[in-house]
Amino acid sequence: MLTLPDLQRSITDFLLSSPGTRADPVLCAAIREQGVPAATLLAIYKNNVYTQLVGALRDSYPAVHRLTGEEFFRFAATEYMHAYRPRSPMLLGYGKNFPGFLKGFDPASSVPYLPDVARLEQLYLESYHAAEAIPLPKAAFPPYLSESFTQPDLRLHPSARLMASPYPVSRIWEVNVQSSAIEGKQRIPGGAEYLLIVRPRATVEVRRISRGAHAVLTAIARGFSVPEALATGIESEPEVDLVTHLLSLAEGETFTREGEYQ
Amino acid sequence: MVVRPKSAVRRPSAGFGPVPAAVGIGLKPAHYRALLRDRPPLDFLELHIENYMCAGGPPHRYLAELAEIYPLSFHGVGLSLGGADPLSHGHLARWRQLVDRYKPALVSEHVAWSSHAGHTLHDLLPIPYTEESLSILCAHVEQMQNVLGRQVLIENPSRYLEFNDSTMAEVEFLVEVTARTGCRLLLDLNNVFVSTCNQCEDAGIYLSGISGHLVEQIHLAGHSINSFETGQIRIDDHGHNVSDPVWQLYSDTVARIGPRPTLIEWDTDVPALEVLLAEVERAREIAAAALADVSTRSSRNAHAP
């Protein structure tokens, strides 16, 4: 007779094992057979676990799924499942290491932008589920531009995520999450992209921003004042009017103030 | 101490006649907007609480709005009450936070395990019905009730296998858990049908072992059949209409124990809201017919010479 911990350990090992692994004979002997063999009954549960986890990844990474196709996606998802065994009772965060996994996944190396598309989808999900905060009204932003204004309470909205990619990643993503399927290969214009992903209200927005604005927002996220952050941005992109960019980002409810988290 | 919820889900009686069953559906993101726009006549919404264990975002925005319109039922799939490992304090704390925030009318979890040694399997796995399992499950149910400060309902599982070591029948096991912990049952009739078919048992005999006062809620869902060379296994996939034999069990159960808050569950290949609303209407009609039949029979008996 197996104790409950031993039984559960044995079932866990089998359910998370590679496809084709045989169940432990001691475990099979613990199961009452009524026509259908114990190994087949255990395989039903194994298939349930696999279906749940692959389904969770597919829901989180629709563009990666579309780009790779069902068969390759399943293959990658199975390999991911063995590299990152699920450890949380919430499925929401199960795929958070998938972009990093894809980066080192040799069979996907022929699609060099795939990890960046996955990264964008991961940031989209983070933004979707992030805490709420009251966005800073546009009119309240200009004082923060002044060096004499010393209130250190400006923050990016808690749903804001920043991303830089050498590929036109947001355009690739857009094409692959649109419901009207575009068949066949197509040319995606553009090169490197700097992105702000933010959800000040109910909908996540993926905004393409300039390299300088990306540098400014990154500096603000790290706790620099707006004038300090602007200096970093101008170094990064001297030819652009970053103040106008920042005002337009403020209008787009990118910022909040400390203490206005809900 | 276990405190009962202040307001259980009950439909007001419309005119004379038996109190109809309160019927609700599982809440799915695909239906958020349609529910808020059309406000269909549902008696409650049930949600998988793990899907709302996030800081903010649209799920909570919609849920907060829907909670103004409908009573809520919180259904957990991740506590692993039947697991040999201790319950996760973090997970219980997240449960408590959401129960405090939304004050659901009903709260339920499963007679199953899903985690072991830090790994989570995201499936509801069966336990052997032994004294060892019983004492572990009871301790966990008590812990959950203590953390939440209220009675919880535990759901009978769907089972594809049975253990040789079991020393009691499932019904005996469930009834003993209610006696030891003061919890009540969420009777999933599709699970009863699936499990009894898979174990070559009789669903009617199974149900006759459960007194009506132990049942606080009913679940109805669809299932599928997997055929193997040497037999068939029914799979509780929540991806189809409720099957006719399960509707029959529902009618029999309502006739025997009276109406209970009833949920239409559909979690795989979620259909349009209209499909779920049609199942809700069917549940109401079947419950009303079962109750009318009981009341006709009892009045006929009362007038018998």
For A6-62, how does the pLDDT look when each residue is reduced to its tens digit (9 = 90+)? Answer: 999 999 999 999 888 999 999 999 999 878 899 999 999 999 999 999 999 999 999
For B151-163, how does the pLDDT look when each residue is reduced to its tens digit (9 = 90+)? Answer: 999 999 999 999 9
Written out in words, the top-level CATH class of the domain with range A132-262 is alpha beta
Contacts of A38 in chain B (CB under 8 A): 161
Check CB contact under 8 Å for B55 and A131.
yes
- Which amino acid would we find at residue A106? D
Residue B82: which pLDDT band, with cuts at 50, 70 and 90? very high
DSSP string covering A117-163: HHHHHHHHHHHHHSPPEEEPPGGGSGGGGSTT-----EEE-TT-EEE
Average model confidence (pLDDT) across chain A: 92
Check CB contact under 8 Å for B120 and A34.
no
pLDDT at B304: 60
Check CB contact under 8 Å for A32 and B127.
no
Q: How far is CA A144 from CA A136, A196, A241, A257, B277, in A?
A: 11, 20, 17, 11, 53
Contacts of A262 in chain B (CB under 8 A): 56
Give the whole-angstrom CA distance, residue A242 versus residue A193: 17
Q: Which residue of A has its CA nearest to B82?
A: A4
The reply to whether A32 touches chain B by the CB within 8 Å rule is yes
CB atoms within 10 A of CB A74: 16
Contacts of A16 in chain B (CB under 8 A): 119, 121
What's the distance, CA B8 to chain centroid?
14
Say yes or no to pLDDT of B5 above 70.
Answer: no
Check CB contact under 8 Å for A49 and B122.
yes
Give the whole-angstrom CA distance, residue A97 versus residue A233: 30
DSSP A115: H
With beta carbons less than 8 A apart as the criterion, state whether B156 and A78 touch: no
pLDDT at A152: 83
pLDDT at B6: 39
CB atoms within 10 A of CB A128: 19
CB atoms within 10 A of CB B181: 21
Contacts of B48 in chain A (CB under 8 A): none
Say yes or no to pLDDT of B232 above 60.
Answer: yes
What ipTM, to 2 d.p.?
0.90
Contacts of A25 in chain B (CB under 8 A): none
For B119-148, how does the pLDDT look when each residue is reduced to its tens digit (9 = 90+)? Answer: 999 999 999 999 999 999 999 999 999 999
- Between residues 221 and 260 of chain A, which touch chain B (CB distance below 8 Å)? none
pLDDT at B197: 92
pLDDT at B206: 97
Which of B127, B131, B161, B166 is most worth mutating to test chain A (most A CB atoms within 10 A of its CB)?
A: B161
For B14-38, how does the pLDDT look when each residue is reduced to its tens digit (9 = 90+)? Answer: 444 455 679 999 999 999 999 999 9
pLDDT at A189: 74
The reply to whether A29 touches chain B by the CB within 8 Å rule is yes
How many cross-chain Cβ pairs, A to B, lie less than 8 Å apart?
138
A32: Cα within 13 Å, side-chain hemisphere = 17
Structure-token pair, residue B66: 């829907």
Say yes or no to pLDDT of A191 above 60.
Answer: yes
Q: Which residue of A has its CA nearest to B87?
A: A89
Which of A8, A11, A28 is most worth mutating to test chain B (most B CB atoms within 10 A of its CB)?
A: A8
* Bridge partners (DSSP) listed for residue B116: B119
Option in A36, A87, A88 nearest B231 (CB): A36
pLDDT at B229: 80
Say yes or no to pLDDT of B78 above 80.
Answer: yes
pLDDT at A34: 77
Give the whole-angstrom CA distance, residue A261 versus residue A29: 55
Tell me which H or E stretch contains B285. helix B273-303
Q: Which residue of A has its CA nearest to B200?
A: A34
Residues of chain B with pLDDT > 70, as a percent, come to 92
State the residue for tokens 């389904």: A55
Check CB contact under 8 Å for B233 and A199.
no
Q: How far is CA A35 from CA A74, A252, B235, B305, in A?
A: 31, 64, 16, 53
pLDDT at B1: 41
Residue B39: which pLDDT band, with cuts at 50, 70 and 90? very high
pLDDT at B16: 46
pLDDT at A187: 73
Residues of chain B with pLDDT > 90, as a percent, come to 84
Question: What residue ranges in A154-234 does DSSP mark as E strands?
Answer: 154-156, 161-165, 193-198, 205-209
Structure-token pair, residue A257: 């103030």
Say yes or no to pLDDT of B13 above 60.
Answer: no
Check CB contact under 8 Å for A89 and B199.
no
For B171-188, how does the pLDDT look when each residue is reduced to its tens digit (9 = 90+)? Answer: 999 999 999 999 999 999
Residues of chain A with pLDDT > 70, as a percent, come to 97
Work out the average pLDDT over A241-259.
Answer: 92
Q: In order of start, what are the domains of chain B with their CATH numbers?
A: 23-293 (3.20.20.150)
Residue A238: which pLDDT band, with cuts at 50, 70 and 90? confident
With beta carbons less than 8 A apart as the criterion, state whether B126 and B140 touch: no
Q: Which residue of B has its CA nearest to A85?
A: B119
Check CB contact under 8 Å for B84 and A5.
yes
Check CB contact under 8 Å for B226 and A44.
yes
Least confident of A188-197, A208-217, B157-166: A188-197
Say yes or no to pLDDT of B283 above 90.
Answer: yes
Residue B11: which pLDDT band, with cuts at 50, 70 and 90? very low
Check CB contact under 8 Å for A87 and B120.
yes
pLDDT at B12: 42
With beta carbons less than 8 A apart as the criterion, state whether B188 and B159 touch: no
Work out the average pLDDT over A142-166.
Answer: 93
Check CB contact under 8 Å for A52 and B230.
no
Check CB contact under 8 Å for B57 and A130.
yes
Q: Which residue of A has its CA nearest to B158?
A: A45
DSSP string covering B134-156: HHHHHHHHHHHHHHHTS--EEEP
pLDDT at B7: 45
For A161-181, how does the pLDDT look when each residue is reduced to its tens digit (9 = 90+)? Answer: 999 999 999 999 999 998 665
pLDDT at A1: 81
Domain boundaries, chain A: 1-111, 132-262
Contacts of A88 in chain B (CB under 8 A): 120
Structure-token pair, residue A195: 């992105």
Average model confidence (pLDDT) across chain B: 92
pLDDT at A76: 97
Give the whole-angstrom CA distance, residue A213 versus residue A40: 57
Check CB contact under 8 Å for A8 and B83.
yes
Check CB contact under 8 Å for A52 and B123.
yes
Work out the average pLDDT over A64-89.
Answer: 95
Give B175→chain A minimum CA distance, Å: 21
Residue B195: which pLDDT band, with cuts at 50, 70 and 90? very high
